[in-house]
């Protein structure tokens, strides 16, 4: 049983009108931004097969990305590595969500947000939905848009910083990525507040002292 439109219907029945699904990707990586998407679906033109992006094959995700972009209102936003290091990853992921909602080409009256915590500055009424990407069609769509956009960013960065495997690991702490960190060093796109990166920087500084 996949996601459906009941959360959206409940909000619409309460008079909120335009409902956006919101999700983020990239909390766990050692490198790259955290990326969020806000999506307002047209209930008459919802692409078939929407689901949690993690439950889809890469080919199916790419196809749905194009289908969603063609029929929905979509906003993509990011929080940078510098922002992640400055305000922490949870707050940065919420900042990206806030930016995504604010950037929608239509004004949303209500947001359905994946997870158990709501960003504090969404500026519209919202509901947190645990495992929302598997329950709400709008959040599922947002999870797909965010993942594809962030994966493309990491693929592009991999062309400039070869050896870290970002084109396949998307910056997550795979064994090969951590080995590359030790062998090649820390790039400007690594999150210095994350322990594996911080430890390498600290050890390097300790040795150089």
Q: Tell me the binding residues.
A: 23-24, 114
C-alpha span between 67 and 48 (Å, rounded): 9
Phi, psi of 9 (to 5 degrees): -60, -40
**Residue ranges for the binding site for a divalent metal cation?**
23-24, 114
For residue 79, the surrounding DSSP H or E stretch is strand 73-79
Query: Which run of H or E residues covers position 127?
Result: strand 126-129
Report the alpha-carbon angle 146-102-3, nearest 5.
Answer: 45
- Beta bridge partner(s), residue 13: none
Strands 34-40 and 73-79: antiparallel
Pairing of β 34-40 and β 126-129: unpaired
């Amino acid at each position: 049983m996949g996601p459906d439109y009941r959360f959206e219907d409940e909000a619409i029945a309460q008079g909120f009108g335009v409902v956006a699904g919101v999700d983020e990707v990239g909390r766990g990586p050692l490198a790259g931004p955290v990326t969020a998407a806000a999506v307002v679906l047209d209930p008459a033109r919802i692409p078939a097969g929407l689901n949690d992006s993690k439950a889809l094959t890469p080919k199916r995700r790419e196809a749905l990305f194009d289908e969603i972009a063609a029929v929905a209102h979509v906003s993509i936003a990011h929080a940078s590595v510098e922002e992640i290091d400055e305000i922490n990853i949870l707050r940065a992921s919420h900042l990206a969500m806030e930016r995504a909602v604010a950037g929608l080409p239509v004004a949303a009256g209500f947001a359905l947000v994946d997870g158990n915590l709501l960003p504090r500055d969404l500026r519209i009424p919202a509901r947190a939905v645990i495992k929302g990407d598997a329950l709400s069609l709008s959040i599922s769509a947002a999870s797909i848009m965010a993942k594809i956009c962030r994966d493309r960013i990491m693929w592009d960065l991999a062309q400039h910083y070869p050896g870290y495997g970002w084109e396949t690991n998307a910056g997550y702490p795979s064994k090969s990525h951590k080995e590359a960190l030790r062998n090649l060093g820390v790039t400007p796109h690594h999150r210095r507040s994350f322990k594996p990166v911080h430890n390498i920087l600290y050890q390097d500084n300790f040795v150089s002292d």
